[in-house]
Chain A
Amino acid sequence: MDNPIALTIVVLSVFLTMYISYYNRRYTRTTAAFYVAEGKIPWRLNGAAMLGDYCSAASFLGVAGAVALVGVDGWWLALGFFGAWIVLLLVMAGPLKSVGKYTVADVLAARFGEKAHGIRIVAMLSTLVLCVLYLVPQIVGAGHLFKLLLGWDYLPTVLVTGTLMAAYVIIGGMRGTTYNQAIQGVVLFGAMILLLIVVSITYFGGNPLAIIEKGQEMVPPAVVAEEGGAVEALAQMEVAEAEAAVTVARELMADAPNALTPGVQLRDLLNQASLVLGLFLGVLGLPHILIRFYTVRNATAARRSAEFTIWGLAIFYAAVLLVGLATMYVLYPTLIQLLTEGQQGVAKNMSLPMLGQLLGGETALGIIAAGALAAMLSTSSGLLISATTSLAHDLYTTVLKPQSTDQERVIFAKTGAGVLAALAIGLAIWLRDQNVAVLVGMCFGIAASTFAPALVFAVWWTRLTSQAVMAGMGVGLVTSVVFTFARFFNMPDFLGIPVLVNPALYSVPVAVLTTVLVAYLTKDTGRVEEFLASAHSS
């Protein structure tokens, strides 16, 4: 065991979170304190939980890692996550709140009737695919994290942590999820800000803007790693010689781009467009994130929690850039060595915990690891809960066995969750070297090609038909999954079409066009007036 103190902190934190969520529930029921501003606590709690839902391990570990390796290009993952939140609030929040339906299948059933089995099946398939693929980055992140803490190999680590995570979710159920997510939101946000403050004071004379100046000097590690001479010159350097390493790399590669140069080695126009498009529309297709918006009672409370979250996200994602650049500087030689030694997965995802370790020793490593693990656990429970709901409700009860008992349904759902988790663990072993934020971005791409068009058209377009929903979701699902896996297999092109970092650029237009085309050819527009009336009542 490499880091006993850090590991202890992580384990304790899991128990502490469970305890706090228990304590909180009792407290709200039995406290005698009465707040004049009723609803004050709920909206803050809700805002923090939204933040926790949204700032997953991908935002925390993946984006910072990407910035640390390639510079400002990596920031676009974060800006995409942020932009998606804006689209969500503008386009879907109002209508869905009015309709009072929070899941994709429910919304579509409200418009096209409960009998629309075809829609239900396609929606369920998309839900399952999304859940499994979204679980992968959580497990990859956890695998690398515990590899760092325990010093085991990746394979046994990922098997053990993946299984434990699945067991925690499947056995533990979901009570106290909201409190857990709120705690996690606050911890992640706090950890990011604390890292920024400490790293600014320790390395940049207390001036965060000096980080940006330093960024203009540095050659991004991902660029250095491809330059044999520079790699050799830096191979023996220690972390403490970061400043010297930066200078050496710059001298050897005088004309190389710096960390603030856009488009470094990463994305041409098509790749960048595909990524930002997928991110922009993706959250529209992840309505389980939307649910949070409706858990407070009135419009004012909802508005306050949404504003709370939007400010939180803006600050968080602005800080990510600075922390990422600072990480690049502080860990400069280490990152390059990791990249050249074939440890891409570690370099891409673990730079933030490593920065913590350097700044505050094992204790800081433990705190950051605990925050990241909390994020992974709560995201995983959210995903497995939506997957099992869909399995039990859409498949088992509606199609397979309408006469089943509650007990049978629960067993079916839990078995299903186990199978999905096993699939996700298998994929996590295969995809170990991927950046978790990029993996999450692909899920956004799939969601953007399936649920996003279906939902947006359902609440904003009178002409939409049930056949169009089915065709559009089906075609979008197939196209996006094919291009996602083509990317995983490192295929340069598929049927002559170049494979991009994100499937969205192909699958979103294909899904939208299919939907529109089929809608004009078919007639079943559902209970359109009734539905739109409730969606746009004010």
Chain B
Amino acid sequence: MFQRILVAVDGYAPSLGAAKKAVETASRDGSEVVVVQVEEELPLLPEEKNAEAVALKGARQEPLAAEPLDVVAAFGRKHGVVVKTVKKVGRVTATILSLAKEVKADLIIVGDSGRRGLQKLYFGSVAQAVAEHAPCPVLIVKKGTVDITDLLSALPEAEAPAPEAPVSPVFQPAVFRRNLVFAGGLLVLYALMYFGSALLTSAPFKNTAALEVFGLPLAIWAGWITLISGVLVIRFFLARSNHKGAGSHG
């Protein structure tokens, strides 16, 4: 009946209920399941993100599955269903919809968290938005309507991927010195310009600063130059840092 089912998960109960329905339907119809987890890209402060996460969680406890994609894949294997997992970063609804088009899904299944009141005003409902704009039929699994115990136990402890050992970087004195010389050099250059212009505008040098150059006192030029050279120094610095491989600067 359905060729390819797209289901979106986030680790919480309603979305896992949706995933269970997807696998069950696929197992009956012989369809393929694409399961996607979207991480939102938001330029928020750490504390702000924390407050958001607490609010998003609402009455719900910790996420039921830390790696929902693995859980759904394991559950699919158990039922003999082909499950393709996708991890994306971007806007939640838009990403789900564009993926649906990309994989030519003919059914989208999403969970509905049942958020109400101010929380709904603030976060909106992804399920609603997906249903509104989807190019294909949408099935919404309401909170608490599907028992997901068997899905959660689908991933045996042994199968859980071992946490990767953190790779500690090695101290490279040469890199350290190169960074020091580069950033320090630009800083000294800019500091000379900055303090030069600044002291020029103090009382002892006011006659020099008042000299007219192209119709304006030198002090005004010194200010403009401080601004423009700042922009140039930073453009140069960012371009170079970005260029320098790992790109962690910048």
A534 touches B169 (CB 8 A): yes
A115 is an interface residue with CB less than 8 A from chain B:
no
- Check B231 for interface membership: any CB of A closer than 8 A: yes
A255 contacts the other chain (Cβ, under 8 Å)?
no
B136: Cβ under 8 A from any A Cβ: no
Segment among B58-66, B74-82, B155-163, B194-202 that sits at the interface with chain A: B194-202
Closest to A296 in B: B43
Contacting residue for A29 out of B89, B123, B217, B227, CB 8 A: B123
Task: Kindly report which residue of chain B lies nearest to residue A86, judged by CB atoms.
Answer: B230
Asked if B235 is an interface residue, CB under 8 A from chain A, the answer is yes
Query: Which of A90, A267, A310 is close to B187, meaning CB atoms less than 8 Å apart?
Result: A90
> In whole angstroms, how far apart are the Cα atoms of A21 and B197 in the complex?
41
**In the docked arrangement, what's the CA distance between A536 and B171, Å?**
8
| Separation of A43 and B126 alpha carbons in the complex (Å) | 23
Known contacts A25-B123, A262-B209: does B91 contact A314 (CB below 8 Å)?
Answer: no
Which residues on A sit within 8 Å (CB–CB) of B231? 310-311, 314
A272 to B203, CA, bound (A): 9
Closest chain B residue to A25, Cβ basis: B122
Name the residue among A30, A80, A296, A389 with the largest chain B CB count within 10 angstroms.
A30
Number of interface residues of B (CB under 8 A): 84
Q: A73 with B201: in contact, given A262-B217, A314-B230, A537-B248 (CB under 8 Å)? A: yes
Q: B139 within 8 Å of A by Cβ?
A: no
Chain B residues within 8 Å of A39, by CB: 41
B167 to chain A, nearest CB (A): 11
- Whose C-beta in chain A lies nearest to the C-beta of B234? A310
Contacts of B230 in A (CB 8 A): 82-83, 85-86, 310, 314
State whether the Cβ of A292 lies closer than 8 Å to any Cβ in chain B: yes
In the complex, which residues 181-199 of chain B have their Cβ closer than 8 Å to any Cβ of chain A?
183, 186-187, 190-191, 194-195, 197-199
CB within 8 A of B247: which of A34, A299, A318, A534? A299
Known: A30-B125, A83-B190, A530-B171. A538 touches B248 (CB 8 A): yes
Contact present for B89 and A297 (CB under 8 Å): yes
Q: Which residue of A has the minimal Cβ distance to B51?
A: A175
Instruction: Determine whether the beta carbon of B249 is less than 8 Å from that of A307.
Output: no
List residues of chain A with CB within 8 A of the CB of B44.
Answer: 177-178, 295
Task: Flag if B249 contacts A94 (CB, 8 Å).
Answer: yes
**Residues of chain B within 8 A of A292, CB atoms compared:** 43, 45
Closest-by-CB residue of A relative to B190 is: A86
Task: Chain B residues near A91: list those with CB within 8 A.
Answer: 183, 187
Closest B-chain residue to A302, C-beta based? B250
B153 beta carbon closer than 8 Å to chain A = no
* CB neighbours of B170 from chain A (8 A): 533
For A49, the chain B residues whose CB sits under 8 A away are 43
B224 within 8 A of A: yes
Residue of B at shortest CB range from A382?
Answer: B45
Q: Which of B201-224 contact A (CB under 8 A)?
A: 201-206, 209-210, 216-217, 219-220, 223-224
How many residue pairs at the A-B interface have CB separations less than 8 Å?
268
For A376, the chain B residues whose CB sits under 8 A away are: none
Interface of A is mostly: helix
Out of A97, A291, A307, A536, name the residue touching B45 (CB < 8 Å): A291
Q: Which residues in window 27-84 of B have CB below 8 A to A?
A: 40-48, 51-52, 55
> How far apart are the CA atoms of A477 and B37 in the complex, in Å?
48
Q: Which residues of A contact B204 (CB under 8 A)?
A: 263, 268-269
Residues on B with beta carbons closer than 8 Å to the beta carbon of A318: 224, 227
Chain A residues whose CB sits within 8 angstroms of the CB of B137 once the complex forms: none
A259 to chain B, nearest CB (A): 10
Is A233 interfacial (CB 8 A cutoff)?
no
A429 to B200 alpha-carbon distance, docked (Å): 36
A28 at interface by CB-CB < 8 Å: yes
In the bound complex, CA of A328 to CA of B45 (Å): 39
Q: Mark A16-54, 1 if CB is under 8 A from B, else 0.
A: 000000100111111111110011001101100100000
Q: Which residues of A contact B244 (CB under 8 A)?
A: 538
Which single residue of chain B is at the shortest CB-CB distance from A317?
B227
Contact between chains at B169 and A174 (CB < 8 Å): no
Name the residue of chain B whose CB is nearest to the CB of A36: B98
A34→B247 CA distance, assembly (Å): 26
B179 to A94, Cβ gap below 8 A?
Answer: yes
CB-defined contacts of A271 to chain B, threshold 8 Å: 202
Q: How many residues of A contact B (CB 8 A)?
A: 89
Q: Does B85 make an interface contact (CB < 8 A)?
A: no
A32 with B202: CB separation less than 8 A? no
Closest to A75 in B: B223
Q: Which chain A residues border B94 with CB–CB below 8 Å? A: 31-35
Which residues from A are CB-within-8-Å of B195?
273, 276, 280
**Bound CA span A533–B170, Å:** 6
Across-interface contacts of A267 in B (CB, < 8 A): 202-203
| Chain B residues within 8 Å of A178, by CB | 42-45, 48
> Are A300's CB and B93's CB within 8 A?
no
Question: Which residues of A from 516 to 538 have beta carbons under 8 Å from B?
Answer: 529-530, 532-534, 536-538
The complex places the Cα of A102 from the Cα of B172 at a distance, in Å, of 23
| Minimal beta-carbon separation of A267 from chain B (angstroms) | 6
Given A178-B43, A310-B234, A314-B228, the answer on whether A173 and B51 have CB atoms closer than 8 Å is: yes
Contact partner of A32 among B43, B97, B248, CB < 8 A?
A: B97
Cβ-based interface call for B165 (8 A): no
A82, B197: Cα distance in complex, Å: 13
In angstroms, how far is the closest chain B Cβ from the Cβ of A36?
Answer: 10
Rounded to whole angstroms, the CA-CA distance of A534 and B168 in the bound complex is: 8
CA–CA, A276 and B192, complex, Å: 12
In chain A, residues 179-219, which have Cβ atoms closer than 8 Å to a Cβ of chain B? 212, 216
Interface bits A296-338 vs B (CB < 8 Å: 1, else 0): 1111101101110011001001100100000000000000000
Query: Which residues of chain B come closer than 8 Å to A72, judged between CB atoms?
Result: 201, 217, 219-220, 223
Residue A93 CB within 8 A of the other chain:
yes
Pick from A80, A86, A536: contact of B179, CB under 8 Å: A536
Judging by beta carbons under 8 Å apart, are A280 and B191 in contact?
A: yes
B93 touches A79 (CB 8 A): no
B194 adjacent to A276 (CB under 8 Å): yes
Given known pairs A29-B126, A30-B124, A310-B231, the reply for A177 and B48 (CB within 8 Å) is yes
CA distance A286 to B71 in the complex (A): 43
A338 to chain B, nearest CB (A): 25
Q: Tell me which of B198, B204, B206, B246 has the highest count of chain A C-beta atoms within 10 A of its own C-beta.
A: B198
Question: Can you show 7 pairs from A to B with CB atoms below 8 A apart?
Answer: A22-B121, A83-B226, A86-B234, A89-B238, A91-B183, A297-B89, A533-B171
Known contacts A33-B94, A85-B230, A272-B198; 7 additional CB pairs below 8 A are A31-B93, A34-B91, A34-B94, A42-B42, A273-B198, A273-B202, A537-B246
